[in-house]
Amino acid sequence: MDWLYLLMPISGVSIFWPGLIILGVGVGIIGGFFGMGGAWMVTPGLNILGFPMAFAIGTDIAHMAGKSLISTLRHGKFGNVDYKLGVIMLIGTVVGFEVGAQMVMWLERIGNINIIVRWIYILLLAFIAWMVFYDLHKRVQKEKAAKAQGEVLDKMATGVNWAQALHKIHIPPMVNLKVSGIYCSLWLPVTVSFLTGWLAGILGIGGGLIRMPALIYLVGCPTHVAVGTDLFEVMISGLYGAGTYTYKGRTELVAAMVMLVGAAIGAQIGAVATKYIQGYGIRIAFGICVIGCALSIIMKMIQPLMPNLTTFLDNSSTVLILGLVSGMSLYIFYQMVKGVKNELAEKRAGVQ
Amino acid sequence: MKRIRKLWFLAVATCLWMLPALAASAAGGGGAPIVIVSDTRKLDGIMRWWGSLYNESHLQFTLLTVVLIPVTGCIFGFIADIVMGWIGIDLTKRKVHEH
């Protein structure tokens, strides 16, 4: 069975290459569907396959750049990428990220901040999950109210309208974002991206997990445009990251390429699935992923309190993340196949 | 107006300067350089060449990596376009059903 293992030229470790393809397919689907880099799934996955942590991070970011490019191209064809918004957001993200990273270094000099960072992460994920399901709850209430009056709720209606309130702030310069259908102050996307970048900098993550809901609930993007635009940002930061990590000798390109074979298929499935799954379907699935991610962090956080259960909690956390990736990927794949079948059936009916 | 343009130019330039910090944590943090020499004795063919390139020039190795990733992405994207078009999936439009 030696042929199933590939000797990596830089790190010198032998890796089970079908595992890389499977991991690539899973994160490709989820990344293409939700508009995330997905480092929180890939890095532990690569580590399990046998990569030292330093290489796991670099290889992850290299494959993330390629995968995001594929997804962005696909979303771009569907008209899901607001490039103007993406460039504006990049300004705030970069500045906010740097401020956050500097703040962490300053806090580190004062004392151990790991536990504080993890708590911020948990609270943030809890808030995002609450936001997603509160919005859903409000929309269901609106639907019921409309039904009671014998009306049908507009399909473009949302549960919460925070973004609309923010659009009323008219601080010049104003900007017209045609793809997103938004006319707002330029300072709105800049401020939102600064805040999400700042949080990402403090937490040491890429930020897709925070930016995607922020684009929906605060900037007011339609869900599909939020996904596509976020991927555009992940692509740019990923390409730059691939360069810096490779220069530091932390990237195993061979592994990234093998992963990219799977991720290319997965990213297409994820991106095409957004064609068939409605906006709220994406939001609910995203909310479930956020809850799973929060639970896995809680499991890691309580390990020092329960030394006897350390191994159990560690394994459970990994199983949870990989289970979530597998389950969600299968769900998205199933929905895509269903959607394609319906589309082809409609086409055939149209021909006849 | 000129002053605002200047301010934006300054903001964009600052961002480009700060981009490495963002990139360094895009995959989960960390970033201290580590020095590793690729052991090419066990390798052969293209893998040996790749390992040797890493040992000889980090810069060339990096440039090639940064070029290969998007090129591979574009090739896979192009192949997927052909396959999906062959299946019959409409890749040109998407009906917006919901916000």
Place of tokens 């079948």: A341
Each residue of B61-76: pLDDT tens digit? 999 999 999 999 889 8
**Interchain CB distance below 8 Å, A240 and B23:** yes
Nearest residue, CB atoms, A204 vs list B20, B28, B51: B28
Q: Tell me the shortest Cα–Cα distance from A351 to chain B, in angstroms.
A: 13
Write the CA distances from A331 to A71, A269, A322, B82, integer angstroms: 18, 11, 14, 25
Q: Which of B22, B40, B68 sits opposite A93 (nearest CB)?
A: B22
Mutate to test the interface with A, among B76, B91, B93, B95 (most CBs of A within 10 A): B76
Does the pLDDT of residue B35 top 60, yes or no?
A: no
Residue position matching structure tokens 């830089």 = A10
By Cβ distance, the residue of B27, B74, B90 closest to A57 is: B27
Confirm whether the ipTM is greater than 0.90: no
User: In chain B, whose CA is at the least distance from the CA of A62?
Assistant: B69
Contacts of B46 in chain A (CB under 8 A): none
pLDDT score at B10: 63
Chain A hits for B86, Cβ within 8 Å: none
Task: Enumerate the domain spans of chain A.
Answer: 2-341
Nearest-10 Cα torsion for B73, A228, A297, A334? -80
Distance, in Å, from the CA atom of A288 to the CA atom of B82, rounded to the nearest integer, reads 33
Residue B43 has pLDDT above 70, yes or no: yes
**A260 closest CB neighbour out of B27, B76, B88:** B76
Model pTM above 0.90: no
* pLDDT in the model for residue B4: 56
DSSP conformation letters of B10-39? HHHHHHHHHHHHHHHHTTSS----------
B21 → closest Cβ in A39, A69, A97: A97
For residue A254, which residues of chain B lie inside 8 Å, CB to CB?
A: 47, 50
Instruction: Decide: helix, strand or coil at residue A16.
Output: strand
What's the pLDDT score for residue B28?
Answer: 46
Q: Kindly identify which residue of chain B lies nearest to residue A226, measuring between CA atoms.
A: B99
Please give, rounded to a whole number of angstroms, the shortest distance from the CA of B73 to a CA of chain A.
5
- Asked if residues A285 and A328 have their Cβ atoms less than 8 Å apart, the reply is yes
pLDDT of amino acid B27: 44
Interface with B, mutate which of A21, A57, A175, A347 (most B CBs under 10 A): A57
| pLDDT per residue as tens, chain A (352 positions) | 788 899 999 888 899 999 999 889 998 998 888 888 777 778 778 877 888 877 887 888 888 888 889 889 888 888 889 999 999 998 888 888 888 878 877 877 777 667 777 788 889 889 989 989 998 999 899 889 988 988 888 777 888 888 989 999 999 899 999 999 999 999 999 999 999 988 888 876 778 888 989 999 999 999 899 999 999 988 888 888 888 888 888 889 999 999 998 988 898 889 888 888 877 888 898 899 889 888 888 887 888 888 888 889 888 887 888 888 889 999 999 998 998 898 889 888 877 6
B83 pLDDT higher than 90: no
DSSP 8-state symbol, A52: -
- State how far the alpha carbon of A212 is from the alpha carbons of A166, A269, A289, A290, B57, in Å: 17, 19, 13, 12, 38
pLDDT at A256: 92
**In the prediction, which pLDDT does B29 show?**
47
